[in-house]
Every structure is written in C-alpha cells, then in structure tokens.
Amino acid sequence: GSYHHQDAAEYAEFILAAFLHMDREFGLVPDGLEILLEPDNVSQWNGTTVGNAIVAVEARLSAAGYSPEIIAPSCTNMGNAVAYFDALATVPGALSALDEICYHRYGGVSDTNLQALALRGRRQGKRTSMLEWWSTGNGIDTLFKDLAMGETSAWQHGVLCGIGAPNDDMPLYMVDASDPSAPVVAINRKARLARQVYRFVRRGAVRVGASVQAGSAQALA
C-alpha cells in the first residue's frame, strides 16, 4: 500500500489522533513532540518532508488546543542532521515552529558536524539535543563534548533500566531480579559519573566558560 505518513496533512491527522487518545484515555498531554525518529532511515523522508510535517502538525495541534515543543530532525547520522535542518529551515513556517535541533550519534560523528549544529542553534535561537546513542562507548566524555562543543540542552545516555547484574552498558540502573520477592536496584558505574551533571545542573542553567590547567581533566561550568 501507499505510505500515508509522507503526506504532511495525513501525518498531522495521525499525530492529533495520538494526542487525543492519550489525553482522553489517560489525561496525558506531552510537553514535547519529536516529529519523527531517525527520518534518514527511511526513503520517504528528507529535510523538506520533515519541514512540511512540522508546519502541518503544529497547525493541527494548535487548532485542537495543544502546544508541545517541537523537536527535529532527530537523524541517526549527525551529518544528516545538519543537512536535514538546512532543508527544513527553507519550508515556510517550519523554523519558527521548531524549538529544538536534535541529532543522534550512530554515524557522521565529527567535531565539524557537532559545531555546525551548535552554530545553527545559536544563530536561530534554538536549543540542541543529543537524544540517542545506545552504545557501550557512550559516557561522561561524550556528555562533556556534547555540552561544551554541541551546546546541548538535553542529552540521553541510554535506557533507564535493565535486568541483570550491574555493568557499564547502556542502562542507568540495573535490577537484579534473581529473587523476585526482593529485587535489588543498583546504579551503573557510568551513570555514577553522569549523575553529577544530572543532579547539579538544574533546569534552565546556562553554560559559561571554564578552563583547567591539568591536561588529564576537563572543565565545564
């Protein structure tokens, strides 16, 4: 059959239906909406179709009384996120409706691309965010780079919780459920480092310059 989500109006109707269902059935109204997860993984989407979707969805939700923050393009490839943003920004109304420039770290990872995204966010007055890299390579060093170079306002280490013994993998916490009547929750080592940022950098905080003389240390303030 045909791929209806490629049609901006059809996609907007689908998103509104999801909002209405969550609101009416559960009393839940999302604060933010990620327009599409990794649009560069399917052939039907590109920066222009993402921009068209943003405009259509924002108008349809607004007419129904919903005003979530809009997040895009959420590409799996960091380099694609730059190109997709540039394309969606040419769609009339898309840039003004967008609140956050989102990228993932599965491909196209480079300082050049990271700085390009930060620059676009700064010039357009948009936040940036790294919202997915489910990898054992992710950790505090990545968080520091995304904060300092990518100027991110939101960041995701990985999944919240896993089942099994503590490890250094993607979950923030692990649950040992070998005794179902007495499960044990333990925080992973990498999460112990990242939680210092999560805990002490409060909502609305603004990053300022910082430097350190020790070559083995990094500084953020």
- What pLDDT, in 10s, does the model give residues 170-218? 888 999 999 999 999 999 888 888 888 888 888 888 888 888 898 888 8
Give the number of other CB atoms < 10 A from CB of residue 46.
18
Residue 57 CB burial class (10 angstroms; 0-12, 13-18, ≥19): buried
73, β-bridge pairs: 102
pLDDT single digits (tens) 139-181: 999 999 999 999 999 999 888 899 987 777 788 899 999 999 9
CB 73 within 8 A of CB 117: no
Give the number of other CB atoms < 10 A from CB of residue 112.
12
Q: Taking all residues of the chain, what is their mean pLDDT, rounded to a whole number?
A: 93
Average pLDDT over every residue of 58-83: 98
CB 50 within 8 A of CB 88: yes
CA distances for 115 relative to 35, 122, 155, 157, angstroms: 23, 10, 16, 20
